[in-house]
């Protein structure tokens, strides 16, 4: 994870005049910490690297962190991006399993 962060940090700082910080969550209870909230409130952009979509959903789903992120995205024009699983963090519902086109049809999940 540290190597991925360092690679993205170098890339962003090379192409965009910005300050890059890293927040890594392994546990749901870490997500709503006041320090994390303050960092999200002060951010101009939030980027999620890839990973396991089901894990991301279980960590962030229904948290104050995700509510704040969505609120800032909708009302304050916060830039939110990501790659792979990280690109799906804001979507509702999040697609997290399946191998074919049938899984993407609404109401087709089991």
Overall domain count for the chain = 1
Whether the predicted model's global pTM rises above the 0.75 cut: no
Is the confidence at residue 44, as pLDDT, over 60?
yes
Instruction: Tell me, yes or no, whether 110 lies in a domain.
Output: no
Residue 58 confidence (pLDDT): 86
Instruction: Tell me, yes or no, whether 107 lies in a domain.
Output: no
Structural domain of residue 33, as residue ranges?
2-95
Residues 68-107 have pLDDT tens digits of 999 999 999 888 888 887 777 777 665 555 566 655 555 5
Instruction: Tell me, yes or no, whether 102 lies in a domain.
Output: no
Instruction: Tell me, yes or no, whether 103 lies in a domain.
Output: no
Measured CA to CA, the distance from residue 110 to residue 103 in angstroms comes to: 9
Q: Contact at 8 Å (CB) between 79 and 53? A: no
Instruction: Tell me, yes or no, whether 58 lies in a domain.
Output: yes
Residue 74 confidence (pLDDT): 92
Residue 90, classed as helix, strand or coil, is coil
Instruction: Tell me, yes or no, whether 61 lies in a domain.
Output: yes
Q: Contact at 8 Å (CB) between 96 and 53? A: yes
Mean pLDDT of 4-33: 85
Residue 53 confidence (pLDDT): 80
């Amino acid at each position: 994870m540290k190597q991925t962060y360092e690679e993205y940090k170098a890339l962003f700082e090379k192409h965009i005049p910005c300050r890059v910080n890293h927040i890594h969550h392994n546990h749901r209870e870490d997500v709503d910490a006041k320090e994390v909230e303050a960092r999200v409130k002060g951010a101009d952009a939030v980027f999620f690297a890839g990973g396991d979509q089901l894990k991301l959903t279980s960590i962030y789903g229904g948290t104050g962190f995700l509510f704040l992120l969505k609120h800032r995205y909708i009302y304050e024009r916060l830039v939110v991006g990501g790659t792979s699983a990280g690109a799906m963090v804001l979507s509702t519902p999040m697609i997290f399993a399946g191998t074919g086109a049938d899984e993407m049809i609404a109401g087709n999940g089991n």
